[in-house]
Structure formats: structure tokens, C-alpha cells
Structure 1
């Protein structure tokens, strides 16, 4: 079994190394700092933009169906600024020198993606009604939902509220957001977040 702390460390250092190649001066925060694993400042240009990045790392499973990141309620909290990002990192536990897959996602988009993934899982065809009742604290985000965010390092430095939303655009009526949606300010309902989902 892989050491989860080493997986976390490998993912964070990988993200820092790529940020440096894109001209960001990146630094890891102290363990226990909520919401942010990496603080980075843009070294080129007059504005010296700053970003906050939370990193979630997993080891790739042999079964593609298990390629997902677990996101608790705190991880689904809405952004407090327009420069909060997630880096979802997938490491190869066999080919240790293989380039990790990385998905760069605005924080508000992650909250929406977690809800979509959880509702899809609960309503998966063939699963009897009532069999999958865990709450949003057990939500997960899979590569199928964030596929279009892969290697979008170019988005960093732009306003997350202006970033295009790439998660599935249509949520079936049977999966409409319940009133118990965890965040007090739902990114699904906030036009300024850039997350606008249509419903059939």
C-alpha cells in the first residue's frame, strides 16, 4: 500500500516544478494551512499576479473506473477570491518516471464537479434506488468530469470567475441540486463564478 503522505508530497512537488517552468515562483505552505498547499507569484510581467493552489494527489489504479479524487465537504467550499485553483494530480505507481497527469481546475468548478459526480454515482443505471445514500462528504471527482481541464496550466493567472466551465453542461432533471447543497453560496447558482449548468 502506498504511503499517502508520500503521494501527497510527490504531487505537490510536481506541481511546484511545473509552475516554475511557467514562470511562477512557487512555495509550499506549512502543513495544516486550510485550502492552500502552494502559494505562487508570477515572476514575469509588471502585475506579479499571485495564486493559491490546493493539490489533490492519487496513485493511478489499473482500473480506469477507479481514477477519481475523494473530496470532502471542506474541499467543496466556494472560492473566496478569483485566484483559487485546484491541481488534481494522478501519479503512476509503476512507471515512477512517467509524467503525472494533472488537471487544473478553478475552485468553484471543483465544487460543481463534485456535486455532478456524486449525483451521477447515486443515480448510476442498474443501481437499485436507495442503495447509494452517502452524503456529499463522500463525493468524488473522476477524470471523466474534469477531462477538459487536463494540463490547463495556461489558465493560471486569469480570473477564475472568467474561466470557461468544462464539466458536463447538462444535468438530468432527476439529478437536480437538492436544497441541502452543502456550500452556503453555491457556485451552481452564482453567475459570477463562471459555473453555469443547464438543466433539462
Structure 2
């Protein structure tokens, strides 16, 4: 439903803006049409650090079923060191608080590619059963679990951020079966995690 999708997007963007403000950031929601950026934020401290944030919101009846569609645009290389995603898991039950996961763009791009390519190339699946393109990637909440409420990562440039993806994802990134998306910064030097 179009209304539900727009409402979910609104919930996520306004939640993230309020969480940023609580942490000393001055957030500004961008107009629709500014690709890859939903919120521009400047930290009010002496450094005046500015970041670009793309918000991805998902609604689900159960926490363990939350997942985010992360297509081609989400898998593009970072334009600079201060591009982030905040993944918002908003439960259908309004008595439960939404959860936020803060990640640098390169981490999201890698996770989206790895999750999809692992699913696509898993051994033992009959031929023709899995043929969706990588643009149809979906990443579930457990993959991003270690990034929950990591607002502190907004103060760290992407190349200096610790990688908190599941350890098996590092193995997948190095395998010929899964690998990394084209143009990803980790091709030249895969970080430790």
C-alpha cells in the first residue's frame, strides 16, 4: 500500500532527526529528490562535523522478521567519507519502540551484496529456484544487530569505522562465490572485523 510505505518512511526520518537532535546534531530533512540523502546534519560541537544520512525504514510484526530492501542505489560506492545509513525497524505494535542501526554506506553496500549473493548461490538449491537480481537484495535485522544505536559512528569517517557485520560476512567477501559489489572500497584492502 502506498500510504503505508510513505507513513513508514515518515516515521523513520522523523525518528532519526529527533535522535540526532538529542545527541547534539542539527538535522535538516532534505526535499524528495536529493538522491542518497534524507537528512543533512551538522554537529553543534566545536568541530561542526557534517554528515549525510539515508534512512531506510521497515515495519514488521516481529523484530526477527524486520528486513530492508537494499537495491542497486544502496550498493553504490560511497561518494565521500561521511555518508551513512540509519536502518529503522518500526514494529507494527505501537507499544514497542522502534530500533535504529547506524552504519557507514560502505558497510551497507557490502552487506546488501553479500546477503543476496550468498542467498543466490547457496549450494543445494534446485536450478531456477533462485534467480532474483542483486537489485532485489534484502538484509535482515540480525545482520545489522551490532550497529544498534551506534550513533557514535557518525563522528568517525567511513574508512576508520569498525566493521560490525557478522564475522562470516568477511569470509563471504573473500570468496569467489559471493565477493563484493563492483567498485567497492574494500576490494583494495579488506578491513579486519
Same topology, TM > 0.5: yes
* Structure 1 residue 190: Cα displacement: 3.6
Q: RMSD of aligned C-alpha atoms?
A: 2.2
The total of aligned residue pairs comes to 188
- Residues 146-196 of structure 1: CA deviation (Å, up to 9, x unaligned): 111111011112111100111132217463328xx4x4x2233043xxx53
Q: 1:121 to 1:197 in 2, by over 3 A?
A: farther
Q: Within the alignment, does 1:93 sit opposite 2:92 as a pair? A: yes
* Deviates most, 105-114 or 66-75: 66-75
- DSSP 3-state at the match of 1:3: helix
Give, in whole Å, the separation in 1 of the partners of 2:36 and 2:176: 32
* Deviates most, 46-55 or 166-175: 166-175
Aligned match of 1:109: 107
Q: 1:37 to 1:7 in 2, by over 3 A?
A: same
* Structure 1 residue 116: Cα displacement: 1.2
Aligned match of 1:156: 154
Residue 177 (structure 1) aligned to one of 176, 179, 184? 179
- DSSP 3-state at the match of 2:186: coil
Looking at secondary structure, tell me which structure has more helix per residue. 2
- 5 Å-filtered alignment, 1:70-89, equals 70-89=69-88
- DSSP 3-state at the match of 1:18: helix
Q: 1:12 to 1:163 in 2, by over 3 A?
A: same
Q: TM-score, normalised by structure 2?
A: 0.88
Q: 1:125 to 1:93 in 2, by over 3 A?
A: farther
Give, in whole Å, the separation in 1 of the partners of 2:155 and 2:20: 11
Give, in whole Å, the separation in 1 of the partners of 2:108 and 2:102: 10
Q: Which runs of 5+ in 2 are unaligned?
A: none
Aligned match of 1:52: 52
Q: Within the alignment, does 1:196 sit opposite 2:191 as a pair? A: yes
